[in-house]
Amino acid sequence: MSYVAPLKDILFVMKDLAGLDEISCLPGCEDATLETAEAILEENARFTSEVIAPLNRSGDQEPSYWKDGEVFTSKGFKEAFKMFGEAGWQGVQHPTEFGGQGLPKLLATPCIEMLHAANLSFALCPLLSDGAIEALLTAGSDADKAMYLENLISGKWTGTMNLTEPQAGSDLAMVRTRAVPQDDGTYKVFGTKIFITYGEHDMAENIVHLVLARTPNAPEGVKGISLFIVPKFLVNADGSLGARNDAHCVSIEHKLGIKASPTCVLQFGDHGGAIGTLVGEENRGLEYMFIMMNAARFGVGMQGIAVAERAYQKAVQYAKDRMQSRDLAGSAGPVAIINHPDVRRMLMSMRAQIEGARALAYVAAAMSDKAHHHADADVRKQNQAAYEYLVPIVKGWSTEMSLNVTSTGVQVHGGMGFIEETGAAQYYRDAQILTIYEGTTAIQANDLIGRKTARDGGAVAKGFIAQVRAVQAELAVSSNADLRAMAAPMAQGADALEEVVNFVVANVKTDIKAVFAGSVLYLKLAGVVLGGWQMGRAALIAEAALQSGGGDTSFNQSKVATARFFAEHILSSASGLRTAIVSGSAGVMALTAEQF
């Protein structure tokens, strides 16, 4: 089966949970009405399902390949990318002054989800371009913006991030790529970068590499890193393409998943030096690169939700088609396996986790829009802090969720899931990278503890917990038994998260290893509790619609049922996570390195 965008749930989350009406009232966001959103998302759903999704399986079977320094993408990718750019999809959230549509992040987020659900390997190219665009908008000079942004936003050119080196993975203090200043104000760049997504390909006229490197007198460590624009083809003053730059792909990786996406080893300066220009100021490169990384981290979280949705759809279809065993309650012959309780449990687990993660991510996107566009400076500041707290959770929890969901998708297929021909395994293989690139789950968790919890004494985290408790109080007094059943797990979840936040704040300076031993579990706990908070909100809204007789009855009933499942089967894990975090560090650190 192909991909069918879950537009009903997407629009419900945008309108009722993320507050699209409020976003459309912000300065600069007036065009983002519900009517506009529906039109854009319906067209995006059509485009991704008809143009992009059919290339997903063929790209996995016939990946991109490298030959004599050039990379050739999978059949159909080049043509589809041209259509993607011409339709304006690269520019949805980017400024109109450079040819974008200038729409808020809340409206761009479902477009990101649908594109990645349709074809994760294909969608990585636009994702990296988005990051490059964000970095240049923030730190680039007027000349940089004039030279590069319009072509990046149109999809005529694409962008990359160049951080990692053979000896410098997550520790960017180890970056050794050199940038030597020249008399004309440019730099010559020398070094090797690895794991560069779409670092070379045949889908665009030019590739704009953003490269971390050190100038000759730079201080050691991360304080001495600068950011440079090193295009594949040099750009003339009139905007036309000039000579081929000394930046070449010397190989691509052979991977477990995302096989159609070329992951390149780039060599800069083998033939005299790659010509680059400095972005912003020297030694502020890491600061600028974090702009790209934060944009990409949110996008990778959406990848997790997207590939999980695709795996869920495939599992549901198989469960409805596959006839196996008699019904436990009695039947004349074999029934579709969706009638068996444990298959239902697996499908509900997949569905609930996806809906919880989607809701939290879209709410985060709305916070980002308020942080950028709200007229009140205090509201902007408050929403920026809340969004920054949620980014590592959206990235970390959603991608870890995708591993669970895609694995469950294989399990629903049984033995046939282990066979590549069914297609279920591709989603599982593709999802494996999501917890690794753009910062592993542990790196997201370290960020959540250090920058997002300890630094402000847990203030933002406790603000979220207060909102969880407010929803829990509404659930507890509901006349609906399903909603009342959610109240106790949510109360326990709020208590668990608060206890962990207090533990982190109290111990991070005196027993740092004990705190960080539970960092990933804290991230998962925050995702589970805040995802549960959104599911509780969704259930209250759906139940109110059912009571009033408005809306889609089947959809609202399903939302209530899925929210209850989330509370009883997923949110109920919060107490165990709390115990492991607060009391479990001794077990983590008990053995010496030699004892392993």
Rounded to 10 deg, the angle between the 553-565 and 341-373 helix axes is 100
Instruction: Please enumerate in sequence order all residues whose Cβ is within 8 A of that of 527, keeping only pairs 6 or more positions apart, or say none.
Output: 357, 360, 393, 396, 397, 398, 400, 401
Residue 190 host element (H or E): strand 187-197
Return the structure tokens found at 122.
């294909």
| Cβ-based neighbour number of residue 513 at 10 Å | 10
In Å, how far are 112, 385, 416 from 352, measured between CA atoms? 20, 27, 24
Q: Which of 546, 371, 536 is nearest to 469 (CA)?
A: 536
- Residue 552 contacts residue 8 (beta carbons within 8 Å): yes
**Exposure b/e, 22-37, CB count within 10 A at least 16 = b:** ebbebeebeebbeeeb
Q: Which of 544, 519, 337, 327 is nearest to 440 (CA)?
A: 519
- Residue 409 contacts residue 427 (beta carbons within 8 Å): yes
Q: Dihedral, CA atoms, 268, 261, 445, 132, nearest 10 degrees?
A: 50
| Residues in the chain, total | 596
Amino acid at 415: G
Q: Is 165 a catalytic residue?
A: no
What are the DSSP E strand ranges found in 301-431?
A: none
- Residue 401 contacts residue 308 (beta carbons within 8 Å): yes
Amino acid at 273: G
Say which of 113, 150, 438, 498 is annotated catalytic: 438
Q: Which of 411, 460, 402, 397 is nearest to 432 (CA)?
A: 402
| Cβ-based neighbour number of residue 18 at 10 Å | 24
- Residue 266 contacts residue 199 (beta carbons within 8 Å): yes
Per DSSP, the residues of 235-303 read E-TTS-EEEEPSEEEEEE---SS-TTS-EEEEEE-TTS-EEEEE-SSTT-HHHHHHHHHHHHHHHHHHH
Strands 65-67 and 70-72, how do they pair? Answer: antiparallel
Strands 187-197 and 70-72, how do they pair? Answer: unpaired
Side-chain-side CA neighbours of residue 106 (13 Å): 38
Return the structure tokens found at 165.
């080196």
In Å, how far are 312, 314, 317, 352, 434 from 558, measured between CA atoms? 16, 19, 17, 10, 29
State how far the Cα of 326 lies from the Cα of 334, in Å rounded to an integer. Answer: 4
Catalytic center residues: 438
